[in-house]
A = this chain, B = another copy of it.
């Protein structure tokens, strides 16, 4: 039906006859001649219809925006002075011989080049939204990224193997999406939160290197960077150490960025232990583009009169400082804004000290409501440890560790980007390693796995599994990029006895372990190789690479934050007959409507 894509016709086709198909993006009548911008996924070309071609001209007069056209014509140079250097086809135009209207279009609900649409409008009219060049670019880049991942993995002996979508509900971690079985009344499949166990089983089966780019599902309340279904680049290998896996995976990420964006990432990626990441950046996915760092001053304030500091310092909390170079110039209003900001993360306040003279660690040199309650020794230590200079400002967090890390960590990133405390690097990947194996869940009063229960503890820490779970470090590693966690994984447990001990440490009884994970324990009996792997969040990586505002901008048909598809109106009620076949009855909250 066509000889070329619109955006590919250039001066090298001069005097050639071309046939193009596309959408009329704009029609202008000028000097008795009709100009149409004809667009397809490759770009736009200008076509010209002259009254000398009366049939084509008559049809062209009827053309409205987004009509689908097929034109045949001759490529010619645009008249001097009318070239458009901004597009590849800008030197030429197509002089139309014949024109065919393949389909008409009703007037659009919004202009296709409107970049300021509300998300509701965009998701409701997603098909037209996807016709916008930005969304075309995003999805084409997403495709390039998956292709680059595949190319690397294929070249390194990884085998793409599909794992089931209809699988077993194992209520660990996030909430499952369930799928009722028609054949087995009262029984349900679960959609996979990840192919974790299946990929481990594939290692036990001897496939050695596995990958899959696959959908995963979590029925969680959504945040900006979450979707009910999301895509993972899922990877597992046998007989590689943590070092070897990390080296191979960062080589992969470098190759994807080089291939798709022509960007050179650092080699090697910097690496932080979990403890260091928390203490310096307040985050296990630190944004290393920001130069600001936290400083732990807990020990220095144990004996101060200021209870807001000494309280947490003496009861397992943390007191930490964030030095802002030149920050003494911050206004009262700005400090109030930051105080409100850290409150989002649970901080009850945001103490600060303006350093008017770094040589005087007392009320003379330091300006702050809190200085009078901090003795000079403490102040001196604080100034020394933060390397504070005259003209700086120190912010403080003092609370339970989680609140201090979360609030000062977020403030660090906000300040860094707003006030320009940046390294200048566009891309800042960093591995975070040596995660704790367990964290204590205050609500459930039990230890839970920081990664998942199949993560291998460090060999040296095995003796503490029962005696001191807090001391056990995991062979786990996360990759952060610009403050986003884009991947994570671990060396897995491959010995049945260790797996049983970890289940026990998590308070999972033998019987429960057998019922939920019996197939894994079985597999570990029969010659499981040492193995490990990781998973990358494709949606997040592509969001970062496109500079999109939300992962919804790199997904063709996303759900809203209320987990709805505004285009198709999913989810939707189903018939009583369907429910009956699935052996289900609705249990609706009061006032909710019945299924139709």
Contacts and interface: CB of A to CB of B under 8 A. Distances in A.
Interface of A: 1-2, 5, 21, 23, 39-41, 66-68, 70, 102-106, 108, 125-128, 130-131, 135-136, 139-140, 142-143, 146-147, 150, 154, 159-169, 171, 175-191, 197-198, 201-202, 204-208, 215, 217, 219, 228-229, 231, 238-241, 244, 494-495, 519, 522-523, 525-530, 555-557, 559, 562-565, 567-575, 578-589, 592-595
A136 B583 contact: no
A448 to B, nearest CB: 18
The 10 closest A-B pairs by CB, nearest first: A105-B527, A130-B205, A187-B571, A66-B527, A168-B570, A181-B571, A168-B568, A21-B239, A1-B239, A585-B585
Contact of A584 (B163, B168, B586): B586
Contact of A166 (B105, B562, B570): B570
Given A184-B571, A563-B183, A584-B587, A159 B178 contact: no
B205 A191 contact: no
B177 A177 contact: no
Contact of A570 (B142, B167, B177, B581): B167
A136 B209 CA distance: 12
B525 A106 contact: yes
Contacts of A519: 127, 567-569
B160 A572 contact: no
Contacts of A169: 570, 572, 574, 578
Contacts of A180: 178, 180, 584
A184 B572 CA distance: 9
A202 to B, nearest CB: 7
B208 A103 contact: no
Contacts of A207: 41, 130, 136, 139
A418 to B, nearest CB: 34
A154 to B, nearest CB: 7
B171 A556 contact: no
Contacts of A494: 103
A3 to B, nearest CB: 11
A130 to B, nearest CB: 4
A308 B204 CA distance: 61
20 contacts: A39-B206, A40-B206, A70-B239, A106-B525, A108-B526, A127-B201, A127-B204, A128-B526, A140-B159, A147-B154, A162-B556, A165-B229, A168-B568, A168-B569, A175-B182, A185-B592, A187-B571, A202-B556, A215-B215, A585-B587
Given A108-B526, A147-B160, A187-B573, 9 more contacts: A41-B207, A127-B201, A130-B201, A164-B557, A166-B565, A168-B565, A178-B578, A178-B582, A185-B592
